[in-house]
Chain A
Amino acid sequence: MNSNLNLLIGLAMGLNLLALGSSRLPTLIRAMSAQGVILGAMPVLMDHEPDWRVALVALATIAGKGLVIPGLLRRAMRTVQIDRELEPLIGFVPSMLLGAGGAIAALALTHLLPLLPEHAGSLLVPGALATMLTGFILLIGRTKAISQVCGYLILENGIYLFGLLLIKAMPLMVEAGVLLDVTVGVFIIGIIVDRIQRAFDSLDTRKLTALRE
């Protein structure tokens, strides 16, 4: 049981590296959404007895991360006619190395944290830490708005993975709120991306420099 789960988390961690290393935005979006779907399926696999609340969360996550959000992002990409991240602030190889180093550090760090016995053997915590780190690297190191949005979504994936630790104890309401906020947040970010495009004719956030001291 636990080994199946760890296999999926390992897969998600591999997708982190793919996201960090690719310059093509469609690959980045695909990596992000595949990761979201894998994570969405996870709570169902964790539980032995089927629970409709858990199933609902899983379904919503898969629909959101697998269909709706990538669709929106692809539409944004088409309207602005950009499919590559050309000049990242942190290069692709350095970001991959950072991500890989972060994953190793996350594994080491997890041994220092007090964990309940049922979580001690799983990759949940290191997977979550490594995924959050990936999200941050993309947020900081990329200049195209779409890449930054993907970074934010990968960060949210990491948070979701961490939230799985608490899925039994935490009321559903908190999780539903998380999902709702993610969707709404991206929706609004999508509108903004669209507006920025109209205002600047490019999706380069480096050009957003009129406001400085």
Chain B
Amino acid sequence: MKSLLLIIVPLAAAALALLWPQNRTRPVILPVAATLHALLSWWLLLDPPTVAAGAWLGFDPLARAVLPVVSVLFLVCAWYGVTYLKLRGERPNRVFVAALLAVLGLLSAGHQARHLGLLWIFTEAVTLAAVPLLHFNGTPRAFEATWKYLLVGGTGIALSLIGSLCLGYASLYGGGGGDLTFVALISQGAGLSRPWVLIAWVLLLVGYGTKMGLAPMHTWKPEAYGEAPGIVGAILAGGVTSVAFTAILRVRAVVGAAGEGPVADHTLLAIGLFSMLVAALFLLGTRDFKRMLAYSSVEHMGILSIGAALGGAGVAAALFHVWSNGLTKGALFLSAGNIRRAAGSASMDEVRGMSALTPRSAAIFVTGMFAVTACPPFGPFFSELKVVRAALEGGHGVATAMFLGCLLLAFFGLTRVVFAIVDGRPRSATKQGGKRFVETAGVILPPLVLLGMSLWLGLFTPRVLQEVWSAAVAQLYPKP
């Protein structure tokens, strides 16, 4: 019941936001619903319910390993959102607030979906619900970004539906009775028709990979993250991508049960390394610090994919990385949003000296940048270390070398952009006419809290989380 409330509470709050008459007070619904959601999800984390084997929806170990961090990230973003929407008081926020809450509810449903078709429906619904968020700014560039997001995302979602149908046919051909829950598909195992499973795997990997933002299907990401408000970027990068990742993990378990696990792992490794390489190269070229964050997100999706390719230890490391990357990226997106507002531009050609104009946001941005490029002692360092260890234990020497090389290139790319906007003397032209951006607690504390949590995750990874991640691995790789 509590696991259903995780879905119902945000959706009900979204409906309330649609009906709420006042533009000024409406954003308060965000933190209220998010607090309830976070309390519920952490309660379920500490006291996991038993999920019936054939249930279509349930707070199973995999949902338990990912959903709480999405919930926390959303909670912090919700607090930031109240201040942000006050700053943007001139724009109507009815649809924006409702869409944010709907995304949270549908994400909770997607993470808990234990049925192939249901999983697809919720992922598709999240994609559609995120559309109003992207063109909140209402500029032509934001519309352009939304169009690309719809076209690329829509194609990806179509491919994953074809993949789901192929997996359904694999089950039907193997004599399955039409039960498309993942448990049933896994128990059918070698009875699934191999050619259909392979076709399904390719289509589902490309389809959900598009949602995740793996190269070469990442093209919507820089546009969307570059033009959407920082709070939306944080939720897309930390929350929406994670539901696509768990979808891939769930499908990977079915493919593994059908006896094609090695093929799946090879493709995951290849697409992961390719994503890291593409992201690293684009990071060396980009001049826009919000697009930079998008490419950094592509890189980290590559890391997740590599982790997923490395078997049990790798998947545990990847789940750890979902947490550390989500929180750190959140801090980066929110502080970048502050800098963007204060500077009036996101290009390093026009922005500099932000350490003088917005000292606190700039400090968080620089620290977050070091955290996300895996400097100790932040979370990403430890999760990436675990991925590397899993790769070396699996005998993937060349892949490890490429992995580390891409990390180094990405580090160069990120430092290049970040220091260009932070250092130097502020442009005199910057924001002379407009209202000066004041760094109130409402816009500084949320990214600071996220950064602090990333540090906490790195220094003192709680035992309960490690148990949760191993439980999820045990669900995906059942002992025979």
User: Which residues of A come within 8 Å of B, CB atoms?
Assistant: 113-116, 132, 139, 145, 148, 152, 155-156, 159, 162-163, 165-166, 168-171, 173-174, 177-178, 181, 184-185, 188-189, 192, 195-196, 199-200, 205, 208, 210-211, 213
Cross-chain contact B141 with A211 (CB below 8 angstroms)? yes
Cross-chain contact B117 with A177 (CB below 8 angstroms)? yes
How far is A207 from B176 in the complex, measured between Cα atoms in Å?
49
A155-B158, A166-B172 as given contacts; A208 in contact with B165, CB under 8 Å? no
**Which of A156, A165, A181, A196 is close to B128, meaning CB atoms less than 8 Å apart?**
A181
Cross-chain contact B154 with A166 (CB below 8 angstroms)? no
> Chain B interface: which size bin?
35 or more
> For B209, what are the chain A residues with a Cβ–Cβ distance below 8 Å?
none
Cross-chain contact B193 with A152 (CB below 8 angstroms)? no
Cross-chain contact A199 with B178 (CB below 8 angstroms)? no
How far is A177 from B116 in the complex, measured between Cα atoms in Å?
12
- A-B contact list, 21 entries, CB within 8 Å: A114-B173, A139-B155, A145-B147, A152-B155, A166-B165, A166-B168, A166-B172, A168-B178, A170-B180, A171-B117, A177-B121, A177-B124, A181-B121, A185-B128, A188-B128, A189-B150, A192-B143, A192-B146, A192-B150, A196-B144, A211-B223
Cross-chain contact B158 with A159 (CB below 8 angstroms)? yes
**Which of A159, A177, A205 is close to B147, meaning CB atoms less than 8 Å apart?**
A205
Cross-chain contact B227 with A159 (CB below 8 angstroms)? no
Complex interface residues of chain B between 87 and 118 (CB less than 8 A to chain A)? 117-118
> For B195, what are the chain A residues with a Cβ–Cβ distance below 8 Å?
113-114
Given contacts A173-B118, A196-B147, A211-B145, 17 further A-B contacts (CB under 8 A): A114-B195, A116-B173, A162-B165, A163-B165, A165-B172, A168-B178, A170-B178, A171-B178, A173-B117, A174-B121, A181-B121, A181-B125, A188-B128, A189-B154, A192-B147, A210-B144, A211-B226
* Contacts between the two chains (Cβ within 8 Å), count: 107
Cross-chain contact A208 with B285 (CB below 8 angstroms)? no
How far is A184 from B193 in the complex, measured between Cα atoms in Å?
34
A119–chain B nearest beta-carbon distance, Å: 9
| A contact patch SS | helix
Cross-chain contact A170 with B168 (CB below 8 angstroms)? yes
What 10 pairs between A and B have smallest CB-CB spacing? A169-B178, A174-B117, A177-B121, A199-B140, A208-B144, A211-B223, A181-B124, A199-B143, A166-B168, A169-B172
Cross-chain contact A162 with B162 (CB below 8 angstroms)? yes
Interface: B286 (CB within 8 A): yes
How far is A82 from B140 in the complex, measured between Cα atoms in Å?
20
Interface: B148 (CB within 8 A): yes
Cross-chain contact B135 with A195 (CB below 8 angstroms)? yes
How far is A27 from B108 in the complex, measured between Cα atoms in Å?
43
> For B223, what are the chain A residues with a Cβ–Cβ distance below 8 Å?
211
Cross-chain contact B178 with A195 (CB below 8 angstroms)? no
How far is A155 from B141 in the complex, measured between Cα atoms in Å?
28
> For B168, what are the chain A residues with a Cβ–Cβ distance below 8 Å?
166, 169-170
A159-B158, A184-B128 as given contacts; A196 in contact with B143, CB under 8 Å? yes
Closest to A116 in B: B173
> For A171, what are the chain B residues with a Cβ–Cβ distance below 8 Å?
117, 178, 180
> For A173, what are the chain B residues with a Cβ–Cβ distance below 8 Å?
117-118
Closest to B286 in A: A213
A67–chain B nearest beta-carbon distance, Å: 22
Convert B34-49 into 0s and 1s, putting 1 for each residue whose CB lies closer than 8 angstroms to a CB of A: 0000000000000000
Interface: B402 (CB within 8 A): no
How far is A171 from B195 in the complex, measured between Cα atoms in Å?
23
How far is A156 from B157 in the complex, measured between Cα atoms in Å?
11
